[in-house]
Amino acid sequence: MQPLADIEGAAPADLERRFGGLARLYGVTGASRIRQAHVVIVGLGGVGSWAAEAAARSGVARLTLVDLDHIAESNINRQVHALDNTLGMAKVQAMRERIAHIHPDCVVDCVEAFVDAVNWPGVLECEADLDWKQVAVIDACDQVKAKTAMAAWAIRAGSPFISVGAAGGKRLAHKVDIEDLSLVTHDPLLAQMRYRLRKEHGAARDKKKIGVACVFSREAVMQPAAVAAMTGDALLAGPVEPDSSGNAQSDATLNCHGYGSVVTVTSTFGLCAAGWVLAKIAGSV
C-alpha cells in the first residue's frame, strides 16, 4: 500500500522536525530503528487506537491495523478516532485517515477482520513479506482465545509482543503497570490467558517468567452494582449482558458489556503498550 502522503489533502511534512525529539531521547541509533519499524496492532478500540496514535506520532514507518468493527457513538468517550465525522466508518480506515495528518509517509495496512485462534498470523494480508523478529505486535483485543493464540505464537516466533489486559471497570490510571504474564494480578482476562498458555501450550509455571509482557491495572474491578450502591443511582444497577453460555459476563474483557470505561485508563493502557514497544525497538528494554 502506498504511503499516506499520497492521499489527497495530506500536507507535505518535515519529518525530521516532526520526529526529531526521538533522537534526543532514544539516541540516534534507537531513533533510527523506531523510524524504520513495523508495528502490528490487533484491536483498535479504547486501547489499540491510542497505541496506534502513539506509534504514528513517534514516526514508525509502517503500521498494520487489524479490526473488523465500525465506529459507534458509544466509542466517543474513549477511542481517539471516534468523532462526529467518523461515526459508522471502519475503525481501521478512520485510524488510517487520522494517521495521514500525523505521519503522511507512514505505510498503513488495514486488515478488516477479527483475529481468532485459527487465523493468526495468516489473517494479515502483508504476512508473506514479514520478518517476524523485526515486527512488533501489540495485542489490544478482548477475546481470550485470540490473545492466547497470539501469545503462544509470539513465544515460538520470537517476535516483540505485548498483550493488554482488561481496562473495563477501572478508574485509576496511575495503577497501570507492565510485567511478565507470570506476575500479573487483578486481571481475570490475563489470568485466563496465563491458564490456557500453561495448560495448552506448555508455558512456564510456578512464577517462572512466561516471556509475555503485559499491560494491566492493579486496581480492583469496579462493578456497576457497586457504583450504584455507593451513589444511590439505581440506573447503574441494570442487568449485565450475558455471554454465549447464558451466564453473566465476568470482568474478563477490555471494554466489557455492562462495565464502565474511561479514557484516562484505556488511553494509559494503549500508551504503555506503545511505549514498551518503542523502547524494545530502540534497544532500551
Output the pLDDT for position 249.
37
241 vs 55, more confident: 55
Contact 55, 274 (CB under 8 A): yes
Number of residues assigned to the chain: 285
Residue 80 has pLDDT above 80, yes or no: yes
Note the pLDDT tens digit of each residue in 198-226. 999 999 998 799 999 999 999 998 877 66
Contact 77, 167 (CB under 8 A): no
**Angle (nearest 5°) at CA 82 between 81 and 87:** 125
Residue 64 has pLDDT above 90, yes or no: yes
* Predicted structure pTM score: 0.87
How large a percentage of the chain has pLDDT more than 70?
A: 83
Residue with cell 450502591: 229
How large a percentage of the chain has pLDDT more than 90?
A: 76
Output the pLDDT for position 126.
67
Output the pLDDT for position 132.
82
Could you check whether the bond before residue 188 is cis, i.e. omega within 30 degrees of 0? no
- Mean pLDDT for all residues in the chain: 87
Output the pLDDT for position 12.
77
Phi-psi region of 246 (alpha: psi -120 to 50; beta: other; left: phi over 0): left
- Which whole number is the average pLDDT over 216-243? 66
At 274, list the grid cell: 506503545
At 39, list the grid cell: 508495528
Contact 221, 265 (CB under 8 A): no
Residue 236 has pLDDT above 90, yes or no: no
At 269, list the grid cell: 493502557
Residue with cell 444497577: 237
Residue 248 has pLDDT above 60, yes or no: no
Judging by beta carbons within 10 Å of its beta carbon (0-12, 13-18, 19+), is residue 150 exposed, middle or buried? buried
Q: State the Cα–Cα distance between residues 103 and 14, nearest whole angstrom.
A: 10
Taken in order 93, 41, 195, 217, the sign of the CA dihedral is negative
Note the pLDDT tens digit of each residue in 157-173. 999 999 999 999 999 99
48 vs 126, more confident: 48
Note the pLDDT tens digit of each residue in 14-42. 999 999 999 999 999 999 999 999 999 99
Residue 247 has pLDDT above 90, yes or no: no
- Amino acid of residue 260: G
Output the pLDDT for position 240.
43
